[in-house]
């Protein structure tokens, strides 16, 4: 089955700086890569996703890049704000979603 690894497990950034989270996957058949944001005790919310036929996608301050050859994808958050503080999960989908272990992001004011 699919195995998704996510790094780092924790990330602390100064407000206004950028944050980068990296994930690798094992199954070359995976073709969909979403990113979820989860605030404490709440449900994961989809923030951005990318499909295997695309190399990069942006949505305001958030961007995701995908390298199919290397089997890795990354989340980039620019101009971080305190409300960006949360746990972020990457995932990869072949026939079902497999999740990374999560990254706790703290934005220092």
**Closest to another protein by CB, 11 or 97:** 97
Task: Kindly state the tokens that stand for 77.
Answer: 């958050």
Closer to another protein by CB, 51 or 108: give it.
51
The span of 14-22, 34-42, 58-66, 70-78 binding another protein (CB under 8 A) equals 34-42
User: Is residue 27 a contact point for another protein (CB under 8 A)?
Assistant: no
Decide: 9 and 23 in contact? Cβ < 8 Å.
no
- For residue 37, the surrounding DSSP H or E stretch is strand 32-38
Q: What mask, x for binding another protein by CB under 8 A, covers residues 37 to 56?
A: ----xxxxxx--x-x-----
Longest dimension (CA), the chain: 41
């Amino acid at each position: 089955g699919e195995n998704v690894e996510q790094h780092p497990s924790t990330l602390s950034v100064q407000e206004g700086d950028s944050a980068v989270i990296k994930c690798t996957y094992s199954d070359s058949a995976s073709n969909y890569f979403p990113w979820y944001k989860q605030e404490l005790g709440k449900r994961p919310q989809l923030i951005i996703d990318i499909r295997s036929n695309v190399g990069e996608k942006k949505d305001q301050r958030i961007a995701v890049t995908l390298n199919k050859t290397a089997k890795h994808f990354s989340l980039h958050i620019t101009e971080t704000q305190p409300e960006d503080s949360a746990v972020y999960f990457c995932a990869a989908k072949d026939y079902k979603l497999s999740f990374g272990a999560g990254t706790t992001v703290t934005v220092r004011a």
